Structure 1
Amino acid sequence: MSTPENTGRRFRAYTIRHLDELLQRAKLTEEQRLRTRAVASVLPFRTNEYVLDELIDWDNALEDPMFRLVFPQEDMLPAEDVDRIAHLIKTDAPKAEITGTANEIRFKLNPHPAGQQELNLPKFEDETVEGLQHKYKETVLFFPQQGQTCHAYCTYCFRWAQFVGISELKIASNDVERLTGYVRNHPEVTSVLLTGGDPMIMGETVLSKYIDPLLEMDHIESIRIGSKALAYWPQRFVTDPDADDTLRLFERVVKSGRNLAFMAHFSHHREMESDLVQEAVRRILNTGATIRTQAPLIRTINDTAEQWAGMWRTQHKMGMIPYYMFVERDTGPQDYFSVPLYKAWEIYRDALAQVSGLCRTVRGPSMSATPGKVVVDGVTEVNGEKIFALRMLQARDPDLVGRPFFAKFDENAIWLDHLKPAFADRFPFQQ
């Protein structure tokens, strides 16, 4: 195999340049490999040796959920779009023509769901603050420029548009002073979430530049780091050159009197099975940080109650806190991965019934939609009408937090936009 991309540490990334060789390992035919490469020309592909060697069952790759989690599948895009790109690749079309066609397809896939490109962008000193989102009153999201990639990409990732090389689709900044200046001027903000991409792709020295200024602000109570590193590169906390320095940074946050919440993204039980992951979790917890777990419900990957119950029990035993079951966002290959809302609630309910109360800290199934986080509390019947019971877990308008509301039952609905109000002419968040 050709030499993988070297990121400057022990970590090695495999990208679309290596895809055809990797697919031969999965025993795909030449035509299957061509169509997979066509999809990877639209949706981003990146993986590493740990994922390849520890997580994927290569003897049964086409049926393996971990293979689908990382490797594009030809039916993730409409067949006509795959045909167009495949033809261009097969006929050695110019790279610019392939990229132009791929971009056409990308913009049809709702690359910025839930108002990610805010109309009312945050401002500091009368200038827009790039790389920052302030959707909820108490919480600010940072998108560090140096963290705008991951150790491996999930095929269902709702932030796929960050990784395809189109500058206008990116949300990121390396202006630490402007990012932290905004937070300093907003005392209502108590929690800062570093996200991306994956902030843990950054080394400790860069990560510290974003975190240390926050420790000087009395109104900051918690710092969160959203990351898939525990699943895709646990070496980051065990054997990487700056693993110990990173853990000392976590300790520094905790000793400052803040809560450091590591928001770990686990999509499948297999991601937690290696000794290396368990050692990484132990080391993070020993710093005083907490680890909260979350993932979307994704068809063909984790769409059974048994899978979720098993994940929650294992996470609890390891000292982690089950936190969120999300509904797959309305972007990218949503049709490939989405589960109807009524089915998502059934899976959540049946999984919850299989675990003790200590595991029932998890909330879901939750849609991170434009007005806020909307949870499906259940399907019930009122006055002979079948309905969804819904509730705002979080909202742009704080007055809506915790408010229940109802929608007409629709067995085909997979997102909030597909629902219609019940017993009212509009939802609480609608004007």
Structure 2
Amino acid sequence: MPHKVQFVRELSELPLAEEERLELEKVTERYPFFCTSYYLRLINFNDPADPLRRVVIPDPAELESWGRVDPSNEANYTVMEGVQHKYESTLLVLASDRCAGLCRYCFRKRLFLKGSEGRPERLRDVQALVRYLERNPRITNVILSGGDALMLPTSRLRELIQAVRRVSHVRFIRLGSRILSYWPERILNDPELLELLKNYSRPGKRIYLVSHFDHPRELTPEARKACDLLLRAGVQILNQCPLVAGVNDD
């Protein structure tokens, strides 16, 4: 990547009262905090109910002992390391184990658990992925997710896209990414990435970016410009987001 992301990883770098910070640090002993400086600038820290704050700032409720670390039973559909096959025509690839920010509601927060509870799940063997695709001709749709697919270096993303495109019955590649919200500079400052996507997104063989905007304030001028560049490169942009209390449930 031509420009490295600027992470903030310590709560002490945020404008929080000491009492609140000490309470939230108990959460980060289990689930880490990290976010881009870009996204943190969008937060109104003077408003305790700020919706963007609720997206990324730890919450003591995360330590309540209910639920499961794998709520979607993804382990049951894992056919090889980093690859899940739940629906006949769709293959999900955990291409990356990195994100530009940790959403506090993430259903894959297990990927970021501290200590022995966390375990690697991302794809390592690209050729094994290709062999699996070739053995399953009903798969027409491959999702490159994670983590965040666009946290991969462009060279690694090229390797994956080229490998998947060699399998003739795969029509669509979907990139699961929150980059447009957390780090639009990833798109704005990497013409090599845009050229890669342009070369491999063609009629009948489209690349889709499944973006993740949770709140209108995330649609900044930078994010809009990044969307425009992707559209000009032939990428189809979709959006998905959960309904989160205090963020977008009004």
User: TM tier, shorter chain?
Assistant: over 0.9
SS of 2:25's equivalent in the other structure is: helix
* Alpha-carbon distance in structure 2 between the residues aligned to 1:72 and 1:276: 26
Give the alignment's TM-score, normalised by structure 1: 0.55
**Whole-angstrom CA distance in 2 between matches of 1:170 and 1:109:** 21
1:143, 1:196 within 8 Å by CA — same for their partners in 2?
A: yes
TM-score under structure 2 normalisation? 0.93
Aligned to 2:106: 157
Cα deviation for residue 41 of structure 1 reads: 1.4
**Cα gap change, 1:256 to 1:230, in 2 (>3 Å):** same
Unaligned runs of 5+ residues in structure 1 are: 1-6, 79-104, 123-128, 305-431
Deviation of 1:114 (Å): 1.7
What's the CA shift string for 1:313-366, capped at 9, x where partnerless? Answer: xxxxxxxxxxxxxxxxxxxxxxxxxxxxxxxxxxxxxxxxxxxxxxxxxxxxxx
What SS does the corresponding residue of 2:176 show, helix, strand or coil?
strand
Distance 1:168 1:72 in 2: 18
Shift of 1:77: 2.9
CA shift in 2, pair 1:238/1:115, >3 Å: same
Map Cα deviations across residues 278-333 of structure 1 (whole Å, 9 max, x no partner).
110000000111000010011111111xxxxxxxxxxxxxxxxxxxxxxxxxxxxx
The Cα shift of 1:169 comes to 4.2
Q: How far does residue 254 in structure 1 lie from its aligned partner after superposition? A: 1.5
Write the mapping of 1:55-94 to structure 2, written as runs, cut at 5 A.
55-60=42-47, 62-78=48-64
Give the SS at the match of 1:141: strand
Counterpart amino acid of residue 36 in structure 2? N
Q: Partner residue of 2:152?
A: 202
Hey, what's the Cα distance between the residues in 1 that align with 2:117 and 2:136? 28
**Which of 5, 15, 27 lines up with 1:11 in the alignment?**
5
SS, match of residue 75 in structure 2:
coil
User: In the aligned structure 2, how far is the partner of 1:182 from the partner of 1:270?
Assistant: 41
Secondary structure in 2 aligned to 1:133? Answer: strand
Give 1:254's aligned residue: 201
Deviations 1:397-424 (A, max 9, x none): xxxxxxxxxxxxxxxxxxxxxxxxxxxx
Query: What residue identity is the alignment partner of 2:197?
Result: F
| Correspondence 1:238 to 2:184 | no
Tell whether 2:12 aligns with 1:20: yes
CA shift, 1:199, in A, is 0.9
Which runs of structure 2 are paired with 1:58-137 in the superposition (5 Å)? 58-60=45-47, 62-78=48-64, 109-118=67-76, 121-122=78-79, 129-137=80-88
Q: Which has the higher contact order (CA 8 A, sep 6+)?
A: 2
Separation in 2 of the partners of 1:211 and 1:10? Answer: 22
1:74 offset after TM fit, Å? 2.4
Output one character per residue of 1:126-177: Cα deviation in whole Å (capped at 9) or x when no partner: xxx2110000000001112xx2111111111111110124476442121111
Tell me whether 1:298 sits opposite 2:244 in the alignment.
yes
Counterpart contact for 2:3–2:186, Cα < 8 Å: no
Quick one: which amino acid aligns to residue 41 of structure 1?
E
How much does 1:256 deviate?
7.4
What 5-or-longer segments of structure 2 have no aligned partner?
Answer: none
Correspondent of 1:223 among 173, 178, 181: 173
Instruction: Give 1:8 deviation, angstroms.
Output: 8.7
Letter of the structure 2 residue corresponding to residue 285 of structure 1: L
Instruction: Determine if contact 1:260/1:290 at 8 Å carries over to the other structure.
Output: yes
Structure 1 or 2: more strand by fraction: 1
Tell me the SS of whatever aligns to 1:237. helix
CA RMSD of aligned residues (A): 1.9
Aligned length: 249
The 8 Å contact of residues 44 and 50 in structure 2, kept in 1 or not, is answered as yes
Sequence identity percentage: 31
Q: How does 1:29-428 map to 2 (within 5 A)?
A: 30-53=18-41, 55-60=42-47, 62-78=48-64, 109-118=67-76, 121-122=78-79, 129-144=80-95, 147-165=96-114, 166=116, 169-239=119-189, 243-255=190-202, 257-272=204-219, 274-304=220-250
State the AA in 1 paired with 2:143: L
Give the distance between the partners of 2:169 and 2:231, measured in 1 at CA: 24
CA contact (8 A) 1:230 1:281 kept: yes
CA distance in 2, matches of 1:8, 1:280: 16
| Conserved 8 A contact 2:82-2:94 | yes
